[in-house]
Amino acid sequence: MILTTITFIIVLGILVLVHELGHFIAAKKAGVKVLEFAFGFPPRIWTKKKGETNYSINAIPLGGYVKMLGELEESKSPRAFENQKPGKRFMISVSGVLMNLVLAWVLLTIGFAVGMSPLVSDPDTIPGKKLSSEVILADIVKDSPASKVDLKAGSIIKGAELNGEIFTFNTISDLSKFTKSHYGQTIKLNVIPENSKELKSVDITLQGEKDAPLGVVLVDKTIIRVPWYKAPYVALRETAKIVELTFDFLKSFFAKLFVSGKVSEEVGGPVAIYTYTGLAVKAGVMAVLQFVALLSVNLALLNILPFPALDGGRIIFILAEIVARKKVVKERIENIIHTAGFVLLIALILLVTYKDILKLF
């Protein structure tokens, strides 16, 4: 519990710090006056002024912000955000997203260089040395053969026994071929339960769906070490695939939200992140590394969405200005739109958090 809480705060801290650092550095480079660089949301715990900027730590560690002169109020100062050329404002707005993508890439580069299981790629497509390979039971389908016996998610499926012969499963393909070729038969499935080192045998009859006689969701955990000079490229390719899959999910999420008004059960807020942080901590340092990389990509894509108060919302106004060659919306009106968007975002976060809490009970 304590370790999970500490890790949760550190994880959020890294994600927020990297994102806001992107905005901060870009603003400073552009000559914009930064009034405050803050971690968390008020009330304020600690603050110190260095130069022209207040550096603050706030009580609610669920975000952060960089407050720039002329960002939310009118200012005639040449150093105000609103008085910069559209190109500079665009770079300041997009820099946080870029930093989160860079963070994911760096973490995955380290992971592959040390030895890590790919998150979304087929292990056979990774140019490296396989250190180990395991088939993990991720979930059990309702009313399937697996649901009728003593099997738990998180178990490692080592192999099976049939007619005195022992079969070993190193990949999902090995297991899938075995179950399909022995459809209708009763086998002994050899598993190592989560948080255990003892091998356990379970009698199970392969039946039901012929394409999935066991009725389980599996994860292929193959640890691969990539040569250091190839790791950056492999990590870049993995990051691109994560971006693609995350973007597809976000499209379906918002389509469902706006069409039916329902929030997908697969979406989680701070409570879900806390829960998954605990699972990652149990799985080890590399799992935490992967989790942070995934969250960083998610944070980047969420922020680039064209919604008021998000980076993407500000970018839309800037792009419209570039195309029209003039301010399309007055600064005061744009600020009102962003404020309204922020209120809606907070409401959505509270709704998702409420659903997360209900799931716990």
What are the residue numbers of the active site?
A: 20
Q: What is the CA radius of gyration of the chain?
A: 24
- Taking the C-alpha atoms of residue 259 and residue 256, their distance in angstroms, rounded to an integer, is 5
Q: How far is CA 303 from CA 20, 92, 189, 284, 336, in A?
A: 12, 13, 45, 29, 19
The CA distance from 352 to 62, in Å, is 14
First to last CA, the chain: 18
Which residues are within 8 A (CB) of 30 and not within 5 positions of it... i.e. 6 or more apart? 84, 88, 91, 92
Query: What are the b/e assignments for 233-261, b being 16+ CB within 10 Å?
Result: ebbebbbeebbeebeeebeeeeeeeeeee
